[in-house]
Amino acid sequence: MQKIKSLMARQGLKSPQESMAELSPVENLRIPSKEELRELREQPIDPQAEQEIIDSIEEVYFSNDSFDMVQHELEKLPPELNLQELEEYRDKLKRQQAAVSKKVADLILEKQPAYVKELERVTALQTNLQLAAVICTNARRQLSVAKEGFTEASLGLLANQRRRQLLTGLLKSLRTIKTLQRTDVRLSEMLEEEDYPGAIQLCLECQKAASTFKHYSCISELNSKLQDTLEQIEEQLDVALSKTCKHFDVSHYTKVQLAYTLLGKTQTAMDQLHMHFTQAIHNTVFQVVLGYVELCAGNADTKFQKMQYKDLCTHITLDSYIPCLTDLCKALWEVMLSYYRTMQWHEEHGKQENTPTPDDTAAESDESVVDHSYVQKKLEHGLTRIWQDVQLKVKAYILGTDMSNFKYDDFIVVLDVISRLMQVGEEFCGSKSEVLQESIKRQSVNYFKNYHRARLEELRMFLENETWELCPVKSNFNISQLHEFKFMGQCRSPSVSPSRQVVSSTSPPQEELSLFQQYLQEGNPFEMHIEHKEEETEDVLASNGYESDELEKSVYQDYDSDSDVPEELKQDYVDEQTGDAPLKSVSRETIRSKKKSDYNLSKTNAPILTNTTLNVIRLVGKYMQMMNILKPIAFDVIHCVSQLFDYYLYAVYTFFGRNDMYESSGLGLISSRLRTTLNRIQESLIDMEAVGENAGIHGPAEDRKEKVPSPHLSQMVVLTNSGTLYGLAQRVVATESLVFLAEQFESLQSHLDTMMPAAKKPFLQQFYSQTVSTASELRKPIYWIVAAKAIDYEQMLLMMAGVKWDIREIMSQHNVYVDVLLKEFEQFNKRLGDVSRHVRIPLPVSNVLWEHCIRLANRTLVEGYANVKKCSNEGRALMQLDFQQFLMKLEKLTDLRPIPDKEFVETYIKAYYLTENDMEQFIKNHREYSMKQLANLVNVCLGSHINKKARQKLLAAIDDIDRPKR
């Protein structure tokens, strides 16, 4: 390659042929002569053949430049030379040389432009290098001048300046050391002032300064002392942090947090804070309970201090239970409020931190975000933990005492306090307070079973001593006027505790604040129930005589229901004992507009109820109050409420409605639904074995514990006196008070339904549809007894038996028995009027009584007609005349339309005119008539018209109808 380069350098811009001629003799030997080249050119160029020639050259020719090819070829000559072979070999070498030369020439020609261009660049580079050399020479010369003229002259000045600076630094260090030695006193002062951030800032600055001057021996001791001081500050800071758990103070907490931020221990502070809160809850509840236990124990030697909290709770006396519970909740509220305010502080602080300032570096802001995020998560997680601790402490307190013997009002206070606490829990962390609910549910079920058992026994005693006299209440009496139902008026939503409702009812309607917002600065939500226990007196009883408008307004101004009462009723009051109406009570127009069968002309429509009814209603109110506060036992309470109604219904039935004559009457007085209800009550609630002497040995004790003995009617109540219509007044009071009670239950259904767990709602619906709704059905059997005895139906039958029915001429005058019967009805009407002076007889009651009497009279008529041995067509016409006379006069006595069982009598009388075939169909269609009545139709009416065989056939048909009944 070197040869080629040198060749090219020498060649310049000449053609390859010219440059070849200028080669040295040695090089010329290797390059073909002009003639040879010409020969080569003249030879046809075959690139492939040319390449093969080049490939045939020995490898050694392509080695380094020091290779001596002449020597190589000479050495290859054989010992014996052959001219022909030599010439052939020479020709071969020439061909190879020619091929190489041609290839080199071609390559040179190909690279010629690039070579020229590169040569130009080399020339330019050489020029630049010469210029650079000149510049460097000048620079060196100028530097040499500067060194001589400036540096050597100023060196002394610089040395002096450096010495001065060192001495100044030393003086500053000595002053700092002096200050460091005095900081100990200042640190103590700052700690006494609770200026923790300042103390830490000073201490950190001192440490930083001390580390700067650690090369001085006097500083080493100071450094360790500062470290001890910093640890002491941290301990005091931890104590200061623990103080915020009970009484949160913004400025105090801000100082503490700032101090921890300076220490770089924000996250550690949060961990410590949660430990302090847990400890605060434990210490607080222990101290509160311990205080009450020691106070009640007096000088007892018991070591209460060393007791576990759970055991300590069992030593609380019944008298101190509620005050202790209230104080316990107040103390726990303070702790939770502190935590709430702590969270508030961090939220506000976090917002301020999130606002970027120009001075903040990216690293600092990132660290701040991480700290804030950790604090936020820790605080949110701590909510649940703290509430769980609170629940467990209160649970231990609740379960530590048996509350089954508490007074009702006391127990309601306990429920109210716990309900308020659960509300606090829900607002605190959205918890449903399962632990508290379960514990209070256990106590409530236990308490409620005992309470309900005692109330049922009390109700039995009330019922057995009840004389069924009217309890005089005001005409617009409503259960919402009773104290027990005040909670419903105060808040329609049953999810709020009574004490909270009191607050909301006194404040104007607005968006309701949470307890934490209401009591953020002062006050305590657990002080409310004591202040509002009995605010107003109850006034539901009517006074004797006339009440002025002013007095009345003052009495009713608190009741919302007053607005629904008509003005005339507001002014009408009756002396409930004498029945005398005041002068302005009822206008003549009002009297005229009254129906005759509504026996309350001298009465306002005041509810009919007894003291026992009022007692049951109050009990229901108390039960609902308990249920309102405590949802988990809602089903148990509603079940007990249903038992109160069941027992009252069963008592009214057994006192006034039970009679074996029902079945024989054929009137269907007791519906299958009512019969089922009565049987269910008897089986589930009534202890039938308690009547016998050896009641104790029958049935399992546990089953009988849930049952109540059947009540007995008071001996003061006389139901056999015809003058009082067989105790009609008492029957009306008893039955209508039950109906009134059922109406009150109906009005409470929607409220009870909201309380009831979804799974148990069918029970409530069944109770209403099968029990409450049957109350009015008791009217039929109870008033039937009065109707059955009030009119002498037997006398009428005897009189009818004496009438001659086989007459041959049509009569224009009815029979005497009709007049006697109508006189009985007039007497009955008069007696009803007498009773109504003492007790208002509502229209449904008078209708039932008249219906029963008319039905019984009509059935007696049919029975009388069925006893006839002989009867003619004229006799049948007389029967119709008698019945029409009876109806005409009866319609003047009663407004009851249509007359009951009118068709029953008319159809029977008309059956006399039926043919044999029609009679057979009649027997099949009219099963309401007895076998005897149908047989009489066959024997008396058709007897003279049909043969014996046909008669036997009809009687057999009657017998077939009657057989399934047997």
Is the pLDDT at 6 greater than 50? The verdict is yes
Q: What is the 3-state secondary structure (H, E, C) of 922-947?
A: HHHHCCCCCHHHHHHHHHHHCCCCCC
CA atoms within 13 Å, Cβ hemisphere of 323: 10
Structural domain boundaries of the chain?
A: 264-351+371-428, 466-487+604-688+708-784, 785-960
Q: Single out the residue of 624, 618, 298, 641 nearest to residue 487, CA to CA.
A: 624
Judge whether 965 and 949 are in contact, CB under 8 Å: no
In 610-760, alpha helices (H): 611-629, 634-652, 662-665, 672-684, 701-705, 728-755
CA distance 178 to 171: 11
Dump pLDDT digits (tens) for 614-639: 999 999 998 888 888 777 788 888 99
Q: Distance between CA 199 and CA 215 in Å, rounded?
A: 25
71-to-67, 78, 341, 528, 785 alpha-carbon distances in Å: 9, 14, 109, 130, 162
Q: How far is CA 500 from CA 439, 503, 703, in A?
A: 22, 5, 40
Lowest mean pLDDT among 16-20, 193-197, 222-226, 813-817: 16-20
- Structure tokens belonging to residue 472: 């005089």
- Average the pLDDT over 915-926 and give the result: 86
User: Looking at residue 693, what is its pLDDT?
Assistant: 44
Q: By CB neighbour count within 10 A (0-12 exposed, 13-18 middle, 19+ buried), where does 565 fall?
A: middle
Containing 837, the helix (H) or strand (E) segment is helix 816-838
User: What pLDDT sits at residue 356?
Assistant: 57
pLDDT at 534: 45
User: Residue 32's pLDDT is what?
Assistant: 53
Query: Tokens for 305?
Result: 């201090």
Q: Is the pLDDT assigned to residue 127 strictly greater than 70?
A: yes
What confidence tens digit (pLDDT) does each residue in 794-841 have? 888 999 988 888 888 888 888 899 999 999 999 999 998 888 888 888
Per-residue pLDDT, 646: 93
Q: Is the pLDDT of residue 396 over 70?
A: yes
Strands 686-687 and 708-709: parallel
User: What is the per-residue pLDDT across 425-484, written as a single tens digit (0 to 9) for each?
Assistant: 888 888 888 888 888 888 888 888 888 999 999 999 999 998 889 888 888 888 888 888
Residue 54: name the closest of 5, 113, 107, 8 by CA. 107
DSSP 3-state of 483? helix
Structural tokens at position 220: 């080493």
For residue 180, pLDDT beyond 70: no
Neighbours of 93 (CB within 10 A): 13
CA–CA distance, 901 with 855 (Å, rounded to integer): 6
Maximum mean pLDDT: which of 92-101, 571-580, 714-723, 844-853: 844-853
- DSSP, collapsed to helix, strand or coil, labels residue 466 as coil
Supply the pTM of this predicted model.
0.63
Six-digit token pair at 393?
Answer: 């402490």
Residues with Cβ within 8 Å of residue 604, at least 6 apart in sequence: 475, 569, 572, 573, 574, 585, 586
Whole-angstrom CA distances from 414 to 33, 447, 484, 519 are 133, 12, 17, 21
- Residue 741 — very low, low, confident or very high, per pLDDT cuts 50/70/90? very high
In terms of average pLDDT, the best of 60-69, 292-301, 867-876 is 867-876
Report the range of poorest mean pLDDT among 76-90, 453-467, 755-769.
76-90
Average pLDDT over residues 146-169: 77
Closest residue by Cα to residue 486 from 605, 640, 628: 628
Q: Look at residues 850, 841, 861 and name the one whose alpha carbon lies nearest to residue 890.
A: 850
**pLDDT at position 569 over 70:** no
pLDDT (mean) for 23-41: 50
For residue 162, give Cα distances in angstroms to 152, 158, 165, 168, 299.
Answer: 16, 6, 5, 10, 84
Residue 112 is inside which H or E element, if any? Answer: helix 83-146
d(CA 563, CA 557): 10
Average pLDDT over residues 261-267: 78
For 586, the 3-state DSSP assignment is: coil
Is the previous residue joined to 709 through a cis bond, with omega within 30 degrees of 0? Answer: no
Confidence category of residue 651, pLDDT binned at 50, 70, 90 = very high
Burial of residue 218 (number of CB atoms within 10 Å: 0-12, 13-18, 19+): exposed
Residue 506 token pair: 């006194």
Whether 547 shows a pLDDT value over 50: the answer reads no
Between 867 and 356, residue with greater pLDDT: 867
Lowest average pLDDT, out of 242-256, 537-551, 707-721, 930-944, goes to: 537-551
Spatial separation of the C-alpha atoms in residues 381 and 375, rounded to whole Å: 10
pLDDT in tens, 159-171: 778 888 888 877 7
Who has greater pLDDT, 400 or 9? 400
- Write b or e for each residue in 812-841: b if 16 or more Cβ atoms lie within 10 A of its Cβ, otherwise e: eebbebbeebbebbeebbebbeebbebbbb
Sorted by sequence, the CB contacts under 8 Å of residue 362 that are 6+ apart come out as: none
Helix axes 611-629, 498-506, angle to 10 degrees: 90
Distance in angstroms (rounded) separating the CA atoms of residues 421 and 392: 13
Residue 182: per-residue pLDDT: 63
* Measured distance CA(462)–CA(613) in Å, rounded: 10
Q: What is the mean pLDDT of the chain?
A: 77
* pLDDT at position 365: 60
Query: Average pLDDT in the 104-120 region?
Result: 86
Q: What integer pLDDT is reported at residue 943 of this predicted model?
A: 61
Mean pLDDT of 200-219: 66
pLDDT of residue 110: 85
| DSSP class of 666 | T
Tokens of 362: 């990216």
In angstroms, the CA 590 to CA 601 distance is 9
- Largest pairwise CA distance in the chain: 194
423: enclosing H helix or E strand: helix 408-429
Measured over the CA atoms of residue 571, residue 572, residue 577 and residue 579, the dihedral's sign is positive
Distance, CA of 92 to chain centre: 112
pLDDT at 568: 37
744 or 518: which leads in pLDDT: 744
**pLDDT over 90, % of the chain:** 14
Q: Does residue 965 have a pLDDT over 90?
A: no
* N-terminal to C-terminal alpha carbon distance within the chain: 144
* CA 174/CA 213 separation, integer angstroms: 10
Give 564's pLDDT tier (boundaries 50, 70, 90). very low
Is residue 680 scored above 70 in pLDDT?
Answer: yes
pLDDT band, residue 493 (cuts 50/70/90): very low
Lowest mean pLDDT among 222-236, 321-335, 591-605, 682-696: 591-605
Q: For position 772, what pLDDT does the model report?
A: 92
